[in-house]
Chain A
Amino acid sequence: GNSVTQMEGPVTLSEEAFLTINCTYTATGYPSLFWYVQYPGEGLQLLLKATKADDKGSNKGFEATYRKETTSFHLEKGSVQVSDSAVYFCALKAVGTGRRALTFGSGTRLQVQP
């Protein structure tokens, strides 16, 4: 079946540090890949997406590249801010009929200290 594996948190960084959150996936075919962010007390927000191999998704300074050869979609940001503190979820959407739901990783909590 489909699955997503994320690095365990929490990840604690100082402001302006470089961020990497690892995400690898298992799926048949070529799924679409997503990063969602959940701020405290809120629902999930789509942060970025990539729908085919070598695509780079980017938004708000965050980037992730769809790497088919390593089945990875690692999230990066060059300089984090305190306001980036949240839980980040990697997710995939498989292709094919009947495959409509998102499969999520377990989430990685990011804490950014001033």
Chain B
Amino acid sequence: DSGVTQTPKHLITATGQRVTLRCSPRSGDLSVYWYQQSLDQGLQFLIQYYNGEERAKGNILERFSAQQFPDLHSELNLSSLELGDSALYFCASSVGEASYEQYFGPGTRLTVT
């Protein structure tokens, strides 16, 4: 158990809908990272927050957004969902802004039908 929690574990929704994925980092970690794992694209970095502020952006679509709250949990919002958004979404956390080690949560499996 990495200490990173993600909810929900599974999510099934229809095209065009909007969903919110939630992540709680390990106790003491200030950074949260979001990654998408899909069959065709592999594991890709989406976005990072550090202590409430956006720090780095990867291949995140404009339809996706994220935020980190004062209690350090983070939410990833996915809107106008398309079939291709079906994937595993992982959250990871680390102590610092650019720490070597990131600890991954169990993931949220999103299925868009």
A binding-site residues for B, Cβ under 8 Å:
32, 36, 42-46, 49, 51, 89, 93, 98-107
Contact = CB atoms under 8 A, between A and B. Distances in A.
B31 to A, nearest CB: 8
Given A43-B90, A43-B106, A93 B45 contact: no
Interface of B: 2, 4, 31, 33, 35, 42-45, 48, 55-56, 58, 90, 92, 97-98, 100-107
Contacts of B48: 100-101
A59 B38 CA distance: 28
Given A100-B55, A101-B45, A46 B101 contact: yes
Contacts of A32: 100
Contacts of A102: 33, 35, 45, 102
Contacts, number: 50
Given A93-B100, A107-B42, 8 more contacts: A43-B4, A44-B104, A46-B102, A100-B55, A101-B45, A102-B102, A104-B44, A106-B42
A44 B4 CA distance: 11
A104 B42 contact: yes
Given A43-B90, A49-B100, A49-B101, A103 B45 contact: yes
18 contacts: A36-B104, A42-B106, A43-B4, A43-B90, A43-B107, A44-B90, A44-B92, A46-B102, A49-B101, A100-B31, A100-B33, A100-B55, A100-B97, A101-B45, A102-B33, A102-B45, A106-B42, A107-B42
